[in-house]
Amino acid sequence: MTDIDWTGGHNDSPSSAQLRSAVRAFAETAVLEPARRYDAAGVFHADIYDALRKSPFPAACFPPELGGTDGSTKALIVVLEELGRADISTAVTFATTVELAAGAVLLGGTPEQRATWIPPVIAGEQIASYAIAEQSSGSDVKALETVARRVGASWVLDGSKKYVTNVIPHLPGYVVIVAKLESAGRDAPLGAFVVPYNTPGLEVSAPHDKMSWRGTVLVDLVLRDCELPEDAYLGGGAVPWTSGVSRVFELGRTGMAAIALGSSERLLQESLDHAADRVQFGKSLDSFQSTRMRLAEMCTDIAAARLLVYRAAELRDELLMGRYGFEHGIDTPAQRTYSSLAHVAKLFTSEVTGRVADAAVQILGGKGLTEESDVGRFYRDQRMFRIGQGTTEIEKLIIARALLGSRVETAAQS
Residue pair 168/44 in contact (Cβ under 8 Å)? The answer is yes
Q: What is the pLDDT of residue 11?
A: 75
- Cα angle 129, 132, 137 (rounded to 5 degrees) comes to 150
Per-residue pLDDT reduced to its tens digit, 92-149: 999 999 999 999 999 899 999 999 999 999 999 999 999 999 998 878 888 899 999 9
Per-residue model confidence as pLDDT tens digits over 169-196: 999 999 999 999 988 788 888 999 999 9
pLDDT band at 308 (very low <50, low <70, confident <90, very high): very high
d(CA 366, CA 364): 6
Q: How far apart are CA 365 and CA 268, in angstroms?
A: 14
222 bridge partner residues: 160, 203
Q: Is pLDDT above 60 for 328? A: no
**Distance (Å) of CA 126 to CA 117, 169, 235, 281, 345:** 9, 11, 21, 55, 30
CA–CA distance, 5 with 8 (Å, rounded to integer): 6
Percent above pLDDT 90 for the chain: 79
pTM of the shown model: 0.94
Cα–Cα distance between 82 and 77 in angstroms, integer? 8
Supply the mean pLDDT for the chain.
91
Tell me, what's the pLDDT at 239? Answer: 67
| pLDDT tens digits along 145-159 | 999 999 999 999 999
User: pLDDT-derived band of residue 241, with 50, 70 and 90 as boundaries?
Assistant: confident
Domain annotation for the chain: domains and CATH numbers: 14-127 (1.10.540.10), 128-237 (2.40.110.10), 241-413 (1.20.140.10)
pLDDT for 185 = 84
Q: Is pLDDT larger for residue 286 or for residue 326?
A: 286
- 206-234 pLDDT tens trace: 999 999 999 999 999 999 999 999 999 99
